[in-house]
């Protein structure tokens, strides 16, 4: 037991983040739901989700109580990286529908009171973009090649790549053309990196922003937001960057420190987090300000430490940045406490909201990660031959982690299906895999398909209601039936109803614009405990039950809260509770 059951009123508090004003701009406290269009809902029956499918299911999101929706890319694309390879930034891919379908979806969302942000992919285009086709046709030394990063090779006959950079998806970051030149691609070879020193590239993306702003979008999620500007001369760097957490497996002999001196960046190497990238955000911020209604940008920047990340959300840059340090902390009390404290420290210093996220389309879902024997593990995909998560434990911890997250002041991101407690497909046959990371690593990384499986809407229908034809682009595990929306709606204590209740209480209690004080007598060891406005939040990440304050009244809990022999309230292991603070 961690307390002598003090009353809630006498708990000591340490202020970390002061409350804001309830009428702040929407993006300061919004809960934003990520729709992954391929896998949300399929209206056409081809087995791939589409915009009409999203429109038809927007009621689910309004009912859930989120404030906004972020759509992963639906633009014209050969789908070499599931749409993060854009061939035309102003067209909808026929897989997903038409621009009219987009307008209808946006209109329906706005009528339901949901804001909509769309994905912007500025670091690279598809190899099927008209600019890349022109560059290939025009040949070495042409003006058309200036829009990308073409270089001569090194060594005899230029047969070696221009530098030693590795692709984030595995293998070299350069591909050689039959005419002898090489081009840079930090991701797949079908995703050539743009040259952001080129004025036409800058002008084009400002125009793309205006195109979608004019159609009425509320903002943008900026893909690989720290990548557009590279260090001059593209110097060698022996590190390897992996998704989300940034640099990994850098050996002590790698020239990281020297690279830092040369580039002025954090510890990310010469392709990431260069100071020059901030000029792009300032320019985009000026574009957004020309529009009404608080349009916003969220930066997907895998930048460490958090103080470097906060530079992306200075008042004249992006409004938000994803807080991947929170996601990476796992189900670990010390790590969570640290990341919460430091996130508010750095973001408050620049006047930006802190954001929170546990799952997205690039990581194993938190319900599966937290069921692994190491609750901070973050494998890039889980396959048949890998350790299988404990599904019940993972779900229990995922629900607890979500209640902790949704009580934190700031803005929170939810990934589609997490409101159902959905696990990854962890036994997907490799023959179905589509993620380029799987192929470029020769299968060493299973990749991201497991978190991208189509959603289950109704337990008894073909494809669990995802598609009228029963076809799905990735197979759904049989276990998804139990997670279907219609199996949970109206069922007290279901994950769906717990999310709905949490979002309603978060709103009515003003938690998103609230403050954070650690509760000194409760917080520590396996317990993370804080106060936000009139709500006390206690998360028990240990294996022993924890006694709650004597006068506690339960608002919401991730599991049933028990009473001990003396009638006191006890929080079991791997659980979070929201309590009403005494008067």
**Pick 55 or 167: Cβ nearer ligand GLC:** 167
Residues between 286 and 315 that touch ligand GLC (CB under 6 A): 300
Q: Which of 121, 327, 428, 556 binds ligand GLC (CB under 6 A)?
A: 121
User: What are the DSSP calls for 362-415, one per residue?
Assistant: TS--HHHHTTSSSTT---S---TTSPPP-HHHHHHHHHHHHHHHHTSSSEEEEE
Q: What is the DSSP letter of 154?
A: B
Q: Which of 127, 362, 424, 445 binds ligand GLC (CB under 6 A)?
A: 362
Residues between 363 and 402 that touch ligand GLC (CB under 6 A): none
134 noted as active-site residue: no
Report cis status (omega within 30 of 0) of the bond before 318.
no
Q: Is 322 in the site for ligand GLC (CB under 6 A)?
A: no
Q: Give 332's contacts (C-beta < 8 A, 6+ positions apart).
A: 375, 376, 541
Q: What is the DSSP letter of 524?
A: B
Phi, psi dihedral angles at 467 (to 5 degrees): -140, 135
Nearest distance in Å: CB 208, ligand GLC: 15
**Pick 28 or 448: Cβ nearer ligand GLC:** 448
The contact pattern for ligand GLC, residues 48-87, with x = CB under 6 A and - = no contact, is ---------------------------------x--x---
Q: Is 438 in the site for ligand GLC (CB under 6 A)?
A: no
Q: Which helix (H) or strand (E) holds 581?
A: none
Long-range contacts at 254-259 (CB < 8 A, ≥ 24 apart): 259/231, 259/235
Phi, psi dihedral angles at 176 (to 5 degrees): -95, 140
**Which residue minimizes CB distance to ligand GLC?**
84
**Pick 243 or 505: Cβ nearer ligand GLC:** 243
Name the catalytic one among 29, 300, 419, 449: 300
Nearest to 447 by CA among 382, 494, 518: 382
Alpha helices in 407-449 (DSSP H): 436-440
Nearest distance in Å: CB 186, ligand GLC: 8
**Pick 112 or 444: Cβ nearer ligand GLC:** 444
**Pick 280 or 571: Cβ nearer ligand GLC:** 280
Q: Is 499 in the site for ligand GLC (CB under 6 A)?
A: no
Q: Which of 29, 193, 223, 424 binds ligand GLC (CB under 6 A)?
A: 223
User: What are the DSSP calls for 264-283, one per residue?
Assistant: --SSS-TTS--TTHHHHHHH
Distance CA 229, CA 272 (A): 7
Q: Is 225 in the site for ligand GLC (CB under 6 A)?
A: no
Name the catalytic one among 223, 304, 449, 523: 223
Angle at 420 between CA 415 and CA 425, to 5 degrees: 75
Residues between 166 and 205 that touch ligand GLC (CB under 6 A): 187
Distance CA 360, CA 358 (A): 7
**Pick 70 or 331: Cβ nearer ligand GLC:** 70
Q: Is 505 in the site for ligand GLC (CB under 6 A)?
A: no
Q: What is the DSSP letter of 25?
A: -
Distance CA 146, CA 197 (A): 9
**Pick 50 or 362: Cβ nearer ligand GLC:** 362
The contact pattern for ligand GLC, residues 253-292, with x = CB under 6 A and - = no contact, is ----------------------------------------
Characterize the bridge pairing of strands 31-35 and 355-357.
unpaired
Using CB under 6 A, count the residues that bind ligand GLC: 10
300 noted as active-site residue: yes
**Pick 81 or 93: Cβ nearer ligand GLC:** 81
Nearest distance in Å: CB 301, ligand GLC: 10
Q: Which residues form the catalytic set?
A: 223, 300
- Contact positions toward ligand GLC, by CB under 6 A? 81, 84, 121, 187, 223-224, 243, 300, 361-362
């Amino acid at each position: 037991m961690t307390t002598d059951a003090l009353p809630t009123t006498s708990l000591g508090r340490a202020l970390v983040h002061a409350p804001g004003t309830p009428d702040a701009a929407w993006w300061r406290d919004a809960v934003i739901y990520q729709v992954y269009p391929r896998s949300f809902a399929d209206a056409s029956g081809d087995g791939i989700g589409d915009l009409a499918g999203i429109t038809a299911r927007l009621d689910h999101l309004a009912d859930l109580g989120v404030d906004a929706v972020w759509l992963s890319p639906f633009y014209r694309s050969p789908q070499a990286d599931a749409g993060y390879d854009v061939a035309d930034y102003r067209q909808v891919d026929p897989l997903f529908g038409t621009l009219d379908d987009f307008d209808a979806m946006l209109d329906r969302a706005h009528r339901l009171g949901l804001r909509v942000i769309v994905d912007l992919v500025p670091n690279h285009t598809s190899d099927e973009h008209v600019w890349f086709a022109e560059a290939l046709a025009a040949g070495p030394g042409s003006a058309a090649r200036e829009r990308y990063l073409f270089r001569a090779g090194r060594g005899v006959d230029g047969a070696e790549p221009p530098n030693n950079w590795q692709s984030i998806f595995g293998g070299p970051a350069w591909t050689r053309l039959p005419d002898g030149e090489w081009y840079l691609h930090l991701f797949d070879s079908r995703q050539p990196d743009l040259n952001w020193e080129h004025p036409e590239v800058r002008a084009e993306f400002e125009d793309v922003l205006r195109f979608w702003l004019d159609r009425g979008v509320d903002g943008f999620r900026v893909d690989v937001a720290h990548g557009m500007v590279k260090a001059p001369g593209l110097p060698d760097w022996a590190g390897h960057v992996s998704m989300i957490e940034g640099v990994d497996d850098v050996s002590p002999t790698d020239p990281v420190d020297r690279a830092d001196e040369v580039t002025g960046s954090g510890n990310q190497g010469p392709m990431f987090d260069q100071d020059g990238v901030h000029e792009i955000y300032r320019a985009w911020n000026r574009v957004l300000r020309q529009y009404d209604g608080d349009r916003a940008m969220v930066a997907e920047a895998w930048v460490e430490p958090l103080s470097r990340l906060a530079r992306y959300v200075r008042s004249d840059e992006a409004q938000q940045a994803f807080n991947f340090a929170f996601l990476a902390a796992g189900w670990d009390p010390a790590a969570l406490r640290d990341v919460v404290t430091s996130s508010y420290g750095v973001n408050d210093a620049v006047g930006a909201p802190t954001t929170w996220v546990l799952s997205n389309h690039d990581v194993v879902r938190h319900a599966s990660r937290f069921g692994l024997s190491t609750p901070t593990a973050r494998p890039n995909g889980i396959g048949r031959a890998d350790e299988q998560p404990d599904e019940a434990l993972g779900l229990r911890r995922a629900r607890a982690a979500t209640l902790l997250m949704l009580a934190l002041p700031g803005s929170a991101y939810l990934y589609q299906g997490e409101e159902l407690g959905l696990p990854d497909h962890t036994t997907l046959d490799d023959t179905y895999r589509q993620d380029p990371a799987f192929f470029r690593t020769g299968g060493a990384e299973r990749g991201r398909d497991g978190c991208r499986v189509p959603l289950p809407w109704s337990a008894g229908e073909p494809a669990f209601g995802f598609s009228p034809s029963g076809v799905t682009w990735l197979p759904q595990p049989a276990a998804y039936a139990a997670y279907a929306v219609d199996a949970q709606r109206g069922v007290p204590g279901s994950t769906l109803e717990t999310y709905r209740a949490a979002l309603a209480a978060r709103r009515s209690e003003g938690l998103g614009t609230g403050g954070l004080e650690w509760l000194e007598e409760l917080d520590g060891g396996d317990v993370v405990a804080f106060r936000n406005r009139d709500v006390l939040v206690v998360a028990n990440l240990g294996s022993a039950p924890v006694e709650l304050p004597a006068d506690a009244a339960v608002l919401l809990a991730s599991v049933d809260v028990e009473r001990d022999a003396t009638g006191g309230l006890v929080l079991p292991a791997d659980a979070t509770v929201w309590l009403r603070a005494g008067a």
